[in-house]
């Protein structure tokens, strides 16, 4: 059984259809890159997988670890191991990062039938995770993303990912707004978290991030469907030829996103 | 206002004045105040200051004056209201009467005096001579009613230059014996020149009885004095509560008021201060959290009577169910009060769509070289933030509570007494489960 099977997924925001029959299968241990021009539906895919109620699924199915993902509340998805690194992480003034991280961590532990962690143990865990994303412990006492720079926000997303140890991580434009040093830190974090039994979907507009997080598969999205899939070289080819190369030609492999399987 | 509403107080008043042990000047003030109350009557919604709050639930009741010791409260029952703190100087009042056996104010620092009003009347007439000097019974009906029936309260005196090490806690508790009773606590807080003190004024209940608290606190700050004044209104769910704080601030003094309100069925809090010397500052903050059918009205008034003073005001309300919150913030700037720097903010968070809020900033500025701003917002839980928290595995209920807490966080952060801040943070997180 694959970790994630998306079949003919259709979704809209308000009256506007954004996903128009998207299919994608992700297995454990794999990294998939989903690329596409602005407005192609990349972020919508990420939000729909995480369960954002602002997006309405109008057709198709998503099976996660054998369960109907679309029937699950966002918090249940997270407790089952799905993690979305937001393109625009939300600022929550007044709630400290430490409190937020520990609350999230404990909710996920409870869902797994594990004991809640006490603050001291949690502090030890945080030391290790902070080092992974090159962040200072000061950020724990600051409010969630409040007043953070763009780079700090993205690193905070990866920190949360490191703490929550998801089985399926979806990185939505995690590279946008990052300078090369921050990009490297974020990518290193993602690579360190890679394991045989988890998977990552990297949603990005640019090929740049894929120099650091090397995908097993690359999919090109346009008009809410996957038009072309290939190996990591596809990203380089796209960089070279531009999205028009795919989107203006006839759809290749539409609806059949899996290659090399 | 109905005559019968006032009529119901006549018998209680006659009884109080016929067998009272209070000095004659108190008796004559009571009489004058009662006459004034009879003339003013309970305010109606036609009164601009009471436009959003009907006093008829109070006026329609007949209350028994609780003027002798009537309570049966054990020390351990007070624990939930003590903020887990130790070493504070605590005066406990049960059903309106001072309860020395429950109080901890034996060993006071030099220059600090705590007395109960009923004994101060005879023991320290020069002090209690100041009763009614700041809170006049001429204007406000509830202040007149309080002056007519006042019989106990706290008299706090901090001598010049004294910086008191621990907070003073005035804890007014009611128990089941207060059912259908009324209390009119009158407190005096006098902070000497360059003195510094923290006073907590709590109104709490160990029962669900219906009763009426009508408190008046007069606060004077001498030159350079600082007072942090926390008012914790945690009355029983069926209680009526009206409280009026009137402060007068001399030169370079700083009055910091924090008004916290979560209890009662119909409550009204008035915090009035006059910046009566140059270089002073007033900070009036508040947080009220309501649910069910609760109605809570908060009126503040800052009078800038002298130049070069500042005022800061931040009131937040969190409303759920069918509750009704009111905020009315007045700022008066006298013609001579140039270089006044005033800022007022009122924010309300609505947790359902059946509650009701009225907010009314009122700036009256008669000086031309001032900086005064005000702003009011009303909002709901941010859906984006809610989704963000849920996407991290946090369940709906905890996510909503966290965002509710987050809304209040900035005003809670202004609380400088750690024990109070932590307790209020906990209460805020747990209020709307």
Give mean pLDDT, residues B378-401.
Answer: 96
Q: Do A75 and B393 touch (CB under 8 A)?
A: yes
Give mean pLDDT, residues B76-92.
Answer: 94
Quote the mean pLDDT of chain B. Answer: 95
Q: B287 contacts in A (CB within 8 Å)?
A: none
Q: A104 contacts in B (CB within 8 Å)?
A: 389, 392-394
Q: Do B390 and A107 touch (CB under 8 A)?
A: no
Q: What is the reported pLDDT for A249?
A: 57
Q: B428 contacts in A (CB within 8 Å)?
A: none
Which of B262, B174, B277 shows the shortest CA–CA distance to B221?
B277
Q: What is the reported pLDDT for B1?
A: 45
Evaluate if residue A257 carries a pLDDT over 50. Answer: no
- Nearest CB among A73, A90, A111 relative to B385 is that of A90
Residue A68 falls inside a structural domain: yes
B394/chain A closest Cα distance in angstroms? 5
Give mean pLDDT, residues A103-127.
Answer: 91
A141/chain B closest Cα distance in angstroms? 13
Evaluate if residue A258 carries a pLDDT over 60. Answer: no
Where do the domains of chain B lie?
Answer: 3-277, 382-433
* C-alpha–C-alpha distance, residues A106 and A114, integer Å: 9
Name the one residue in this structure whose structure tokens are 């997988």: A49
Residue A261 falls inside a structural domain: no
Q: What is the reported pLDDT for B331?
A: 97
Which of B348, B351, B354 shows the shortest CA–CA distance to B325?
B348
* C-alpha–C-alpha distance, residues B76 and B54, integer Å: 37
User: Which residue of A lies nearest to B398 if distances are taken between CA atoms?
Assistant: A103
Are A107 and B401 contacting, i.e. CB atoms less than 8 angstroms apart? Answer: no
Q: What is the pLDDT of residues B229-270, one digit of tens each?
A: 999 999 999 999 999 999 999 999 999 999 999 999 999 999
Residue A186 falls inside a structural domain: yes
Query: pLDDT-based confidence at A206, cuts 50/70/90?
Result: confident
Give the domain extent around A164: 4-247
Domain of A165: which CATH number?
A: 3.40.50.300
Give mean pLDDT, residues B88-96.
Answer: 97
Q: What is the reported pLDDT for B21?
A: 75
- Nearest CB among A50, A86, A95 relative to B402 is that of A95
Q: What is the pLDDT of residues A123-152, one digit of tens each?
A: 999 999 999 888 899 989 999 999 999 889
Give mean pLDDT, residues B301-309.
Answer: 98
Q: Do A75 and B394 touch (CB under 8 A)?
A: yes
**A92, A109, A144, A170: best to mutate for the B interface, most B CBs within 10 A:** A92
Prediction ipTM score: 0.93
Q: What is the reported pLDDT for A256?
A: 43
Q: Do A100 and B402 touch (CB under 8 A)?
A: yes
Evaluate if residue A254 carries a pLDDT over 50. Answer: no
pTM for the model stands at 0.91
For the ranges A95-99, A213-217, A255-259, B271-275, the lowest mean pLDDT is seen at A255-259
DSSP B180-237: TEEE--EEEEEE-TT-EEEEEEEEEESS----EEEEEEEEEE-TT-EEEEEEEEE--T
Q: What is the pLDDT of residues B273-285, one digit of tens each?
A: 999 999 999 999 9
Q: Do A78 and B398 touch (CB under 8 A)?
A: no
Q: Do B406 and A79 touch (CB under 8 A)?
A: no
- Nearest CB among A50, A83, A95 relative to B405 is that of A95
Beta carbons within 8 Å of A180's beta carbon, 6+ residues apart:
none
Taking one residue from A and the other from B, the number of pairs with CB-CB distance under 8 angstroms is 83
Q: A99 contacts in B (CB within 8 Å)?
A: 402
Number of domains observed in the structure of chain A = 1
- Nearest CB among A53, A73, A78 relative to B392 is that of A78
Q: Do A53 and B387 touch (CB under 8 A)?
A: yes
Evaluate if residue A261 carries a pLDDT over 80. Answer: no
Q: B349 contacts in A (CB within 8 Å)?
A: none
Q: What is the DSSP letter of B104?
A: B
* C-alpha–C-alpha distance, residues A119 and A98, integer Å: 9
Evaluate if residue B129 carries a pLDDT over 90. Answer: no
Q: How buried is residue A124: exposed, middle or buried, by Cβ count under 10 Å (0-12/13-18/19+)?
A: exposed
């Amino acid at each position: 059984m694959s970790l994630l099977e998306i079949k003919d997924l259709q979704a809209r925001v308000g009256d506007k259809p954004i996903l128009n029959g998207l299919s994608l299968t992700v297995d454990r241990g794999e990294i998939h890159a989903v690329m596409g021009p602005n407005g192609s539906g990349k972020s919508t895919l990420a939000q729909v997988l995480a369960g954002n109620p602002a997006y309405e699924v109008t057709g198709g199915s998503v099976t996660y670890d054998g369960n109907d993902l679309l029937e699950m509340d966002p918090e249940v998805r997270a407790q089952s191991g799905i993690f979305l690194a937001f393109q625009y992480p939300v600022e929550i003034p007044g709630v400290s990062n430490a409190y937020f991280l520990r609350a999230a961590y404990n909710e996920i532990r409870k869902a797994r039938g594990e004991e809640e962690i006490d603050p001291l143990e949690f502090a030890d865990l945080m030391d290790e995770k902070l080092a992974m994303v090159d962040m200072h412990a000061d950020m724990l006492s600051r409010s969630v993303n409040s007043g953070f720079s763009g780079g700090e926000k993205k690193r905070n997303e990866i920190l949360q990912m490191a703490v929550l140890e998801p089985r399926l991580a979806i990185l939505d434009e995690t590279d946008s707004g990052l300078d090369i040093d921050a990009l490297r830190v974020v990518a290193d974090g993602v690579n360190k978290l890679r394991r045989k039994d988890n998977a990552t979907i990297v949603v990005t507009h640019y090929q740049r991030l894929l120099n650091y997080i090397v995908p097993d598969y690359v999919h090109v999205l346009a008009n809410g469907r996957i038009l072309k899939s290939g190996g990591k070289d596809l990203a380089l080819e796209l960089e070279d030829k531009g999205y028009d190369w795919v989107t203006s030609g006839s759809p290749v492999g539409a609806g059949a996103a899996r290659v090399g399987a | 206002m109905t005559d019968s509403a006032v009529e119901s107080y006549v018998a209680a008043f006659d009884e109080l004045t016929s067998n009272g042990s209070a000095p004659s000047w108190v008796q004559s003030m009571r009489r004058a105040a009662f006459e004034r109350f009879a003339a003013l009557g309970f305010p109606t919604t036609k009164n601009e200051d009471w436009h959003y709050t009907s006093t008829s639930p109070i006026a329609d009741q007949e209350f028994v004056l609780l003027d002798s010791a009537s309570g049966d409260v054990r020390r351990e029952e007070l624990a939930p209201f003590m903020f887990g703190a130790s070493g504070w100087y605590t005066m406990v009042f049960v059903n309106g009467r001072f309860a020395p056996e429950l109080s901890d104010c034996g060993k006071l620092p030099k220059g600090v005096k705590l007395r109960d009003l009923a004994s101060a009347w005879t023991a320290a007439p020069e002090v209690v001579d100041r009763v009614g000097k700041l809170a006049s019974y001429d204007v406000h009906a509830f202040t007149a009613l309080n002056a007519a029936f006042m019989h106990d309260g706290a008299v706090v005196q901090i001598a010049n230059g004294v910086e008191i090490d621990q907070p003073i806690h005035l804890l007014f508790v009611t128990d089941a014996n207060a059912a259908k009773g009324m209390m009119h606590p009158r407190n005096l807080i006098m902070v000497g020149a360059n003195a510094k003190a923290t006073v907590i004024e709590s109104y709490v209940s160990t029962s669900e009885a219906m009763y009426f608290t009508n408190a008046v606190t007069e606060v004077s700050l001498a030159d350079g004095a600082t007072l942090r004044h926390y008012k914790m209104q945690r009355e029983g769910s069926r209680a009526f509560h009206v409280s009026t704080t009137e402060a007068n601030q001399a030169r370079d003094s700083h009055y910091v008021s924090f008004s916290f309100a979560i209890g009662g069925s119909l409550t009204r809090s008035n915090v009035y201060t006059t910046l009566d010397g140059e270089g002073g500052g007033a900070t009036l903050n508040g947080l009220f959290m309501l649910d069910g059918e609760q109605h809570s009205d908060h009126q503040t008034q800052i009078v800038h009577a002298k130049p070069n003073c500042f005022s800061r005001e931040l009131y937040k309300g969190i409303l759920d169910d069918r509750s009704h919150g009111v905020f009315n913030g007045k700022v008066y700037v006298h013609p001579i009060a140039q270089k006044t720097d005033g800022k007022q903010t009122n924010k309300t968070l609505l947790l359902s769509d059946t509650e009701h809020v009225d907010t009314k900033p009122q700036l009256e500025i008669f000086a031309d070289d001032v900086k005064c701003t005000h702003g009011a917002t009303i909002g709901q839980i941010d859906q984006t933030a809610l989704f963000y928290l849920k996407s991290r595995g946090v369940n709906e209920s905890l996510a909503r509570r966290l965002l509710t807490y987050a809304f209040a966080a900035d005003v809670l952060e202004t609380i400088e007494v750690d024990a109070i801040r932590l307790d209020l943070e906990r209460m805020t997180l747990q209020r709307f489960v």
